[in-house]
Amino acid sequence: MTVPARRLFHCLGFGESALGWRESPDRYRFFDRMPQGACIPMGAGLSLAGASFGEGVRSVEMRRFDRILDFDPVQGAITVEAGITLGRLFEFLAPRGWLVAVQPGYPDITVGGCVAGNVHGKNPLAHGCFGRWVTALELAHPAHGRLRLSADERPDLLELTIGGFGLTGWILSVTLRLLPLPGGPVVTEPVKVDSLEQAAEILAVRKDGADLLYSWHDLAMPGRSGAGLVFVGRHLDEPKVAAIPGRCRALDQDRRALPVGVMNRAGIAVLNRMQAWRWRGTKSQDAAAATFPFAANPEYFYLYGRNGFIEHQTLIPWDMAEAYIARLRHLLDRHSVTPGLCVMKPFGGAPCLLRFEGDGLSLAIEVARGRAALALFADLDALDVELGCRANILKDARLPAAAVAAQYSGLETFRSRLLAFDPDRLMQSSLSRRIGL
User: What digits encode the pLDDT tens for the residues 253-268?
Assistant: 455 556 666 788 888 8
Assigned CATH topology for domain 186-401: Vanillyl-alcohol Oxidase; Chain A, domain 3 (3.40.462)
C-alpha dihedral over 55, 118, 47, 337, to 10 degrees?
-110
Cα 99 from chain centroid (whole Å) = 18
Angle at 57 between CA 54 and CA 58, to 5 degrees: 125
Predicted local distance difference test score (pLDDT) of residue 357: 96
Say which amino acid occupies 90.
F
- What is the pLDDT at residue 2? 66
For 266, residues 6+ apart whose C-beta sits below 8 A from its C-beta are none
- For residues 140, 143, 144, 146, the Cα torsion angle rounded to the nearest 10 degrees is 30
For the chain, give the mean pLDDT: 89
In the chain, where the domains are located = 186-401
∠ CA 113-118-120 to the nearest 5 degrees? 105
Per-residue pLDDT of 362-408, as tens digits, reads 999 999 999 999 999 999 999 999 999 999 999 999 999 999 999 99
Q: Give pLDDT tens digits for 8-34.
A: 999 988 899 999 999 999 999 998 887
Q: Which residue has the higher pLDDT, 148 or 123?
A: 148
Percent of the chain with pLDDT over 70: 91
Rounded CA-CA distance 338/83 in Å is 36
| 8 A C-beta contact, residue 355 and residue 294 | no
Q: Is the dihedral of CA 302, 376, 319, 353 positive or negative?
A: positive
pTM (predicted TM-score):
0.93
- pLDDT (0 to 100) of residue 260: 63
| pLDDT at 1 (0 to 100) | 54
Average pLDDT over residues 64-82: 97
Q: What is the pLDDT of residues 295-353, one digit of tens each?
A: 666 677 778 888 889 999 999 999 999 999 999 999 999 999 999 999 999 998 888 99
Q: Is the alpha carbon torsion for 162, 122, 81, 18 positive or negative?
A: negative
- pLDDT surpasses 70 at 242: no
Neighbours of 9 (CB within 10 A): 24
pLDDT at 228: 94
In terms of Cα–Cα distance, which of 50, 53, 49, 51 is closest to 38?
53
Residues 161-177, mean pLDDT to the nearest whole number: 98
